[in-house]
Amino acid sequence: MSEQIGVVLVFGGLGAVIAGACWLAYRGLATLWRRREARRLVAPALLLACGLVVGVVPFAYQHVYLAIVGLGERERVIDGERHLNLTGWDRDGYDILADRSDVAVLEMSNPDVTDATLALLVDLPNLRELTLNDSAVTDAGLETLARLPRLETLRLARTQVTPDGLRTFLATPPPRLARIDVSGTGVPAKILRDWKNADPEGARRYVQ
């Protein structure tokens, strides 16, 4: 179901609900004075019910469809780990993540991914690889990313993070972070080298 059809149904259903409720209230008050004409309440009651049904259809469709069919090629389970690719996601919001708390690898390189979107990631305890290239993430979002305990790989190419923001982030990074890509952000190599060289095991890698 397209977003346009969903919007039309929602507003159409809302209009029917309002009209039905007003009609039902009017008829109801009138019927209080004429008990024998209670059948006149049937039509407005039906309109109200139809409005409720039509208004709920878009939301019910999305949840039922995703529950039964899933996300198709966007979702894979590889070696027991859930991989989710939401790049090119054409629906409003990313609430779908709330139903997939076991995601280990997530890609959502979209311009509508903001710092506020990242708040959803805090509830993904298994997330180890995250790609946010070409998103609207800024330094404020880095504060959220620092709270991801299992994050190992982070891609922030062509985002709005700044050298100062990344320096602060890498001073106290997620404990397992070992690979980071900040190409196209203007972050100096020295900041990344300092982070890399601070690893006694020499396992850290970066793309700048």
How far, in Å, CA of 95 to CA of 63, rounded? 11
CATH number at residue 185: 3.80.10.10
Domain end residue (candidates: 41, 69, 97): 69
Q: Is the domain of 60 the same as that of 90? A: no
How much is the pLDDT for 7? 45
Q: Is the domain of 190 the same as that of 87? A: yes
Residue 17's nearest CA partner among 63, 72, 54 is: 54
Q: Which is it for strands 81-85 and 179-181: parallel, antiparallel or unpaired? A: unpaired
Q: Is the domain of 125 the same as that of 63? A: no
Cα angle, residue 68 at apex, residues 64 and 69 outer, rounded to 5°? 110
For 93, left (φ over 0), alpha (ψ -120 to 50), or beta?
A: left
Q: Is the domain of 87 the same as that of 64? A: no
Cα dist. 165→16, 87, 139, 168 in Å?
Answer: 50, 25, 5, 5
Is the model's pLDDT at 3 over the cut of 90?
no
How far, in Å, CA of 175 to CA of 128, rounded? 11
CB 128 within 8 A of CB 153: yes
% of the chain at pLDDT higher than 70: 66
Q: Is the domain of 102 the same as that of 196? A: yes
36 or 167, greater pLDDT? 167
How far, in Å, CA of 208 to CA of 180, rounded? 9
- Stretch 35-47: mean pLDDT, rounded? 59
Q: Is the domain of 97 the same as that of 153? A: yes
Residue listed under structure tokens 């989710």: 84
Is the model's pLDDT at 141 over the cut of 70?
yes
Q: Is the domain of 103 the same as that of 144? A: yes
193 or 20, greater pLDDT? 193
Domain end residue (candidates: 69, 96, 113): 69
How far, in Å, CA of 186 to CA of 207, rounded? 12
Residue 116's nearest CA partner among 95, 130, 101 is: 95
How much is the pLDDT for 72? 77
Q: Is the domain of 10 the same as that of 94? A: no
Domain end residue (candidates: 46, 69, 92): 69
Q: Is the domain of 117 the same as that of 39? A: no
Q: Is the domain of 14 the same as that of 43? A: yes
Is the model's pLDDT at 47 over the cut of 70?
no
Is the model's pLDDT at 115 over the cut of 90?
yes
In this predicted model, what pLDDT tens digit does every residue of 19-39 receive, in sequence order?
Answer: 656 665 655 555 544 555 555
Neighbour tally for 95: CB within 10 Å: 11
| Residues spanned by the domain of 116 | 72-207
The predicted model scores a pTM of 0.69
Is the model's pLDDT at 66 over the cut of 60?
no
Is the model's pLDDT at 68 over the cut of 50?
no
Number of domains in the chain: 2
How much is the pLDDT for 92? 80
Q: Is the domain of 88 the same as that of 14? A: no
Cα angle, residue 109 at apex, residues 186 and 8 outer, rounded to 5°? 135
- Tell me the one-letter amino acid at 102: D
Cα end-to-end distance, the chain, whole Å: 41
% of the chain at pLDDT higher than 90: 59
Q: Is the domain of 102 the same as that of 137? A: yes
How far, in Å, CA of 81 to CA of 58, rounded? 30
